[in-house]
Amino acid sequence: MNFQRPRPDDPEINLIPLIDVLLVIVIFLMITTTYAKYTELKITLPTANAPKAQQYPNEVVISIAADGSCAVDHTVLAHGDVADIAAALTRASRGRADTMVVISADAQSTQQSVVNAMEAARLAGLSRLTFATQRGQ
């Protein structure tokens, strides 16, 4: 006679209900999470309240339109790439390193076109830069 009780098998953890609960939690978190747009910045361009700007004897003006087209000293460039702007700046400055470069960009122009103008000034060896602004109301 065997008076010992039969020993049940080792207990097993059933993972399927755990996976179901975790899937419901993930779906709930995806639905309730708000995704903020960190890549979008609202920029207000500055206005100047200072008196009239100084006039420099050696001054080259880079005008940048809203569509990205450039003009150096009122001469419209066919291509607005960095090399063409740098060549036009070198011609306009006549090789003088103390020439002041004034960047006059439209408020609707892209920042990349302004950066291209700054890079062109660097390539032309002109390190004195300033930006033209409109007078505040």
CA gap 10, 38 in Å, rounded: 53
Q: For residue 58, what pLDDT is reported?
A: 80
Q: For residue 53, what pLDDT is reported?
A: 58
* Contacts for 70 with CB less than 8 Å, ≥ 6 apart: 62, 63, 64, 76, 77, 80, 85, 113, 117
3-state class (DSSP) for residue 72 = strand
- Per the CB < 8 A criterion, the answer to whether 131 and 89 are in contact is no
**Does residue 14 sit within a domain?**
no
**Does residue 83 sit within a domain?**
yes
Q: For residue 67, what pLDDT is reported?
A: 80
Q: For residue 40, what pLDDT is reported?
A: 46
Q: What is the pTM of this model?
A: 0.56
**Does residue 68 sit within a domain?**
yes
CA gap 47, 98 in Å, rounded: 26
**Does residue 81 sit within a domain?**
yes
**Does residue 47 sit within a domain?**
no
Q: For residue 16, what pLDDT is reported?
A: 92
Q: Tell me which residue range forms the domain holding 84.
A: 59-131
**Does residue 121 sit within a domain?**
yes
Instruction: Give the domain CATH number at 110.
Output: 3.30.420.270
Q: For residue 24, what pLDDT is reported?
A: 94
- Per the CB < 8 A criterion, the answer to whether 126 and 89 are in contact is yes
Q: For residue 56, what pLDDT is reported?
A: 63
Q: For residue 19, what pLDDT is reported?
A: 93
Q: What are the 10-residue block averages of pLDDT along the chain, 137 residues in total?
A: 69 87 92 64 52 68 82 80 85 80 82 86 84 67
Looking at the structure of the chain, the number of domains it has is 1
What token pair was written down for 106?
């439209």
**Does residue 92 sit within a domain?**
yes
What token pair was written down for 24?
């419901």
CA gap 119, 115 in Å, rounded: 6
**Does residue 104 sit within a domain?**
yes
Q: For residue 88, what pLDDT is reported?
A: 85
